[in-house]
Structure 1
Amino acid sequence: MKPKVIVVDLVSDDLAVGRSLSLAALRQHGRVVRETLILGGEASWLGMGVSPVSATHRITSRIAPRWIAARRVQGAIDAAVARHEAQSCVLHIWSPRALAWAAPAVRPTTPMLIDVDLDDRLDRVARWRRALPSNVCVGLRVPTAAAQRALGAQGVRVDDIPLIRGLVDYSAVNEARHSDARARLGITHDMTTILILPPITPAAGSFGALWAALLLEKIRRDVRVLVPQGGPESRRLAALARATRHDAVVSLVDPACGLPLLLAACNLALFTPPGDAPVWALPWAMAAGVRIVASAVPAVTEMLAHGHNAWLCRPANPRDACRRCLRALERTDESRKLGEAARSGAFRVFSRQRMIEQYEQAYANLLAGRPAGAGVVDAALVG
């Protein structure tokens, strides 16, 4: 049977891990026929146990893509539609760099859904969106209300910004919880292990989180810190550990072992962004039921509340984060209750099936000429 609709995923080498998890789920479990077009070089986002995205077609160029690749991009999209004899096509653009490749090539009549987050240049994306004619069907999907507000402040209509929460692979989380994760990572049971949650970036406050953990080690000598490696910021954290003679305390771990295993091996997950930042790893920590210490910034507080399901600290304040970590570790019963509440909340909000249904609702809206966010209700508001 010929598909009525095909979704062509446009992926570039700046695809973030959180978005790659969503793409993988849509490809494996969605009801819509999809093809993937990889634009640019090899993906730099592989890690945290994410498998490579297989491509129907790959376009690379050493010259600025805006001038060299427009015809090739549109030709690959047309070929995908013809191959499936589809009646309609939606382009799902997964990052701003993929948008830079696609924007010069895509016909204005083609519906587009673009994934963006707080670490993207939202001002540029919003400016590009505002410059389009009003009859062009384009939606900007965001994973948090903080990102939705940021785009709204840039003049994008809220109806054009569907808020679709990410997902958690609960089977992977549960499997890791029942495995001997600490032994696999070489962690003895007498160690108190702190995991710096990804992404390991300046915006995520990873440097400050490590400072907080090293302060904690002065109080509790059994502390060990896990840092997912990869990228310049993890190297900066390793340099800090060497400079402060904490090489034996800080371990850079291969992200390919997967976030569920790291969460199963840790006693506490630490995430201290100084301001709003991508929070894709927080739902996984919630689902794992581990102690969470995080900054009280809007992107965090829309899913965590101090004393309800996490320990929150002041942003950009390693001393306060250290104090919260110490309390979380010492108050075992209270932390267990908070972890149970976080796990329950994660099951309610971060559902793979709900995420898929909301994406497919956004596709249907765009094809029908409606705003992408029409009828897409934030999962956090659903009882």
Structure 2
Amino acid sequence: MNQVRLLHIVGDSSFGGAAKIILQLAGTMRSEGWRVDLLTTNAVFRQAAEEHGIGTVDLDVIRREIRPLWDLLGLFRLYRFLRRERYTVVHTHTSKAGFVGRLAAWLARVPVILHTTHGFAFHERSSRAKCVFYSTLERMAAHWCDRIVSVSEFHRRWALELGICDGDKIVAIPNGIALGEPQSRIPASELRRGWGAREDDLIILSTGRLALEKGLEDLLKAASLLRRMGQRFRVVLAGDGPLRAQLERLAGDLALSGHVTFLGYREDIPDLLAACDLVVLPSLREGLSIALLEAMAAGKAIVATSIGSNVTVASQAEMALLVPPCDPRALSEAILRCAQDPALRTRLGNNARRVFESRYTEERMLKAYRQVYLGLLRTKRPRLTKSSVIPQIRAIQRVRRAQEIDLPGIVTIHQEAFSHFFLTQLGRVFLYRYYRLVLRYRAGILLVSEGSGGLDGFACGFADPEEFYALMRRRRRSFALPVLYAVFRRPSLASRIISGTRRVGQQASQRTVQACELASIAVSSGAGGRGVGKALVRAFLDEAWSSGAQHVSLDTDADANETANTLYQRSGFQFCRRYEKCKGRWMNEYIIHREDEEFRDAFHEKTANQY
């Protein structure tokens, strides 16, 4: 049996929040029967991987600093290694490893290449020259991979604004963590006393590496201002790193030695969170802070900086006080506000916990990554998805509303199911923007079927179709570039595009009351005959009726399409007419009325109750 082989490329990056995410990804796919290896030269990271049963590759080819000749040699060595080992999937992480790793994997013709940007090499406060330089490198590297994953929606939007890649190549999968519970039997009060805190001290906890980008100098300066304000407190720093000695000296210079405790690296973060009153994260840059998620999971009040990823998370509820980066005074004022208002701390903490549970769990993140892996394999290595290497879908797990993260998978299924259709010939970018428009349309209905192997089908349509087509006509500029590119590649498409544009205009002017259109439904080749199509039609009708529609209509090919026609007829759709859509292509039009289906449901229920 051919085994899927996955290599995570990290290089010499230190062990931190991103490393924990990578270990969870590796462990998840290892449990699927994949062979998973990790390329890292960091001793702590290697040890943690081995403890998790993950293979390690001892190859010193990527170092953080830029050294052109050494980097070129490292690239060549990595290329030779990948050519020899024949990995199925290469997943790169961090900026330097992402650039070198993607290029080496592309040159070695690795079938599936994806990259997770845990944060760019630049940030919101970087100079324009630095942003332009590094975004240009990211734009180059984007051509060497199949998918880019950002760990926050902020970084996905920023990547699109910078032109790093098109929307169909990048997807946001927010970081997620397991819900940690305190493990120590030591009461929180004893932990507090062990830190030198008095009973009425405000315990301020900050977790993470002691590095420049974490902004901890600003926290110590803010603590100095708090002391002058007469606030009783204890700052507890849990973490280690290159800035520790400097921070200890700064604490002494600010006369804070009696108010600050350095714990060093700790793994009992849930215990520390249970013992603190407030979490302060003064970072200058982050992808999506694991420390932030840990504080949210613990239901703690948070004071953090207003960097992009923090703003994205905090905008979902009143769950944190945000202050500008590099502003100790604003930081001290926010801390003081929390210290003087216990009700505010409780409210922030409760809201933070609710946001975490709805958006940032480890289960949600791992499921999304698994979906990306399997979707890319289905496209690039369909033979594997049909073999026992990839778990086959034996039953429908659920049909749910699509999210933006599902769009690449939907496009892949569309291309597979409708390979010779007109819209498919307009390319992935066009399809991505079309389905995204449906997703964002107020009455759009975009559903996906999700089995144990990821997405296996989708249904797309919209209530008030004339309004949707009018919206599509207004947004035609967003479709212009992919259409022009398609015409450049295939000039014969020009006449069909013109007629299609006219048809959209005609449909936009036709007013139909309480109507809904089922525009497309598709099932992946590996899920045929398992009831996926039937489940999608049933769920689509439920969505249509709940939107107020009184009938649903659809068109489908009349010839060589017996499976689809049978599905619609058995689902209750009535045949209306047969017509010629374009030369040589005949279509069947179907419709189903809400009152007819309600009558059928009532009849079946009554019949069932009699037996």
| TM-score w.r.t. length of structure 2 | 0.53
Give the Cα separation in 2 of the matches to 1:325 and 1:375.
44
- Aligned residue runs from structure 1 range 18-37, under 5 A: 18-30=17-29, 31=32, 33-37=34-38
CA 1:189–1:8: 2 relative to 1, 3 Å: same
The aligned residue for residue 255 of structure 2 is 245
Query: Are residue 175 (structure 1) and residue 182 (structure 2) matched?
Result: yes
The aligned residue for residue 92 of structure 1 is 91
> SS of the counterpart of 1:269?
strand
CA 1:240–1:278: 2 relative to 1, 3 Å: farther
1:230 to 224, 240, 250: 240
CA 1:359–1:282: 2 relative to 1, 3 Å: same
* CA apart distance, 1:228: 2.9
The aligned residue for residue 169 of structure 2 is 160
Kindly indicate whether the alpha-carbon contact (under 8 Å) linking 1:14 and 1:44 is maintained by their aligned counterparts in 2: no
* CA apart distance, 1:209: 2.0
> SS of the counterpart of 1:361?
helix
TM-superposition CA deviations, 1:78-105 (whole Å, max 9, x none): 5654xxxxxx711011222323553553
Query: Are residue 364 (structure 1) and residue 374 (structure 2) matched?
Result: yes
2:274 to 264, 270, 274: 264
Kindly indicate whether the alpha-carbon contact (under 8 Å) linking 2:153 and 2:174 is maintained by their aligned counterparts in 1: no
1:343 to 323, 330, 353: 353
CA 1:295–1:131: 2 relative to 1, 3 Å: closer
Which amino acid letter does the alignment assign opposite residue 35 of structure 1? V
The aligned residue for residue 279 of structure 1 is 289
Kindly indicate whether the alpha-carbon contact (under 8 Å) linking 1:168 and 1:350 is maintained by their aligned counterparts in 2: yes
> SS of the counterpart of 2:104?
coil
Kindly indicate whether the alpha-carbon contact (under 8 Å) linking 2:105 and 2:113 is maintained by their aligned counterparts in 1: no
> SS of the counterpart of 1:257?
coil
2:73 to 61, 68, 78: 68
* CA apart distance, 1:67: 3.7
Task: Could you tell me which runs of 5 or more consecutive residues in structure 2 were left unpaired when the two chains were aligned.
Answer: 123-130, 382-404, 411-439, 441-611
CA 1:213–1:32: 2 relative to 1, 3 Å: farther
Which amino acid letter does the alignment assign opposite residue 177 of structure 2? V
| TM-score w.r.t. length of structure 1 | 0.81
The aligned residue for residue 84 of structure 1 is none
* CA apart distance, 1:71: 5.4
CA 1:334–1:184: 2 relative to 1, 3 Å: closer
TM-superposition CA deviations, 1:223-277 (whole Å, max 9, x none): 1111234223333322210111211211111223343233222211112345666
> SS of the counterpart of 2:213?
coil
Structure with greater contact order relative to length (CA < 8 Å, sep ≥ 6)? 1
Q: Which moved more, 1:336-345 or 1:190-199?
A: 190-199
Greater share of helix residues, 1 or 2? 2
1:353 to 344, 363, 369: 363
The aligned residue for residue 408 of structure 2 is 374
> SS of the counterpart of 1:8?
strand
CA 1:160–1:373: 2 relative to 1, 3 Å: farther
Give the Cα separation in 2 of the matches to 1:52 and 1:127.
38
Give the Cα separation in 1 of the matches to 2:303 and 2:49.
25
- Aligned residue runs from structure 1 range 13-162, under 5 A: 13-15=12-14, 17-30=16-29, 31=32, 33-39=34-40, 41-43=41-43, 54-60=54-60, 65-70=70-75, 72-77=77-82, 80-81=85-86, 89-103=88-102, 105-108=104-107, 109-110=109-110, 111-121=112-122, 126-131=135-140, 136-155=144-163, 156-162=165-171
Give the Cα separation in 1 of the matches to 2:268 and 2:85.
33
* CA apart distance, 1:295: 2.3
Which amino acid letter does the alignment assign opposite residue 56 of structure 2? T
TM-superposition CA deviations, 1:107-127 (whole Å, max 9, x none): 443221112233525766643
Give the Cα separation in 1 of the matches to 2:301 and 2:332.
13
The aligned residue for residue 85 of structure 1 is none
The aligned residue for residue 579 of structure 2 is none
* CA apart distance, 1:25: 1.2
CA 1:284–1:123: 2 relative to 1, 3 Å: farther
> SS of the counterpart of 2:266?
helix
The aligned residue for residue 317 of structure 1 is 327
TM-superposition CA deviations, 1:273-322 (whole Å, max 9, x none): 45666523111111111121122333212111498112233443222221
Give the Cα separation in 1 of the matches to 2:406 and 2:104.
21
Which amino acid letter does the alignment assign opposite residue 59 of structure 1? L
Q: Aligned pairs, how many?
A: 365
CA 1:271–1:27: 2 relative to 1, 3 Å: same
Give the Cα separation in 2 of the matches to 1:44 and 1:238.
24
Kindly indicate whether the alpha-carbon contact (under 8 Å) linking 1:146 and 1:276 is maintained by their aligned counterparts in 2: no
Kindly indicate whether the alpha-carbon contact (under 8 Å) linking 1:8 and 1:36 is maintained by their aligned counterparts in 2: yes
Task: Could you tell me which runs of 5 or more consecutive residues in structure 1 were left unpaired when the two chains were aligned.
Answer: 82-87
TM-superposition CA deviations, 1:301-355 (whole Å, max 9, x none): 2111498112233443222221221221221123212211111110111121221
Query: Are residue 215 (structure 1) and residue 225 (structure 2) matched?
Result: yes
Which amino acid letter does the alignment assign opposite residue 121 of structure 2? D
TM-superposition CA deviations, 1:130-152 (whole Å, max 9, x none): 33696x54322211122223322
> SS of the counterpart of 1:285?
helix
Kindly indicate whether the alpha-carbon contact (under 8 Å) linking 1:271 and 1:294 is maintained by their aligned counterparts in 2: yes
Which amino acid letter does the alignment assign opposite residue 167 of structure 1? G
* CA apart distance, 1:44: 6.7
Give the Cα separation in 2 of the matches to 1:289 and 1:303.
14
Give the Cα separation in 1 of the matches to 2:349 and 2:49.
25
Q: Which has the larger radius of gyration?
A: 2
Which amino acid letter does the alignment assign opposite residue 374 of structure 2? A
The aligned residue for residue 293 of structure 1 is 303
Cα RMSD for the two superposed structures:
3.6
Kindly indicate whether the alpha-carbon contact (under 8 Å) linking 2:151 and 2:287 is maintained by their aligned counterparts in 1: no
> SS of the counterpart of 1:167?
coil
Kindly indicate whether the alpha-carbon contact (under 8 Å) linking 1:119 and 1:278 is maintained by their aligned counterparts in 2: no
Q: Which moved more, 1:54-63 or 1:349-358?
A: 54-63
State the percentage of identical aligned residues: 22
* CA apart distance, 1:364: 3.0
Kindly indicate whether the alpha-carbon contact (under 8 Å) linking 2:221 and 2:254 is maintained by their aligned counterparts in 1: no
Q: Which moved more, 1:208-217 or 1:245-254?
A: 208-217
Kindly indicate whether the alpha-carbon contact (under 8 Å) linking 2:182 and 2:274 is maintained by their aligned counterparts in 1: no
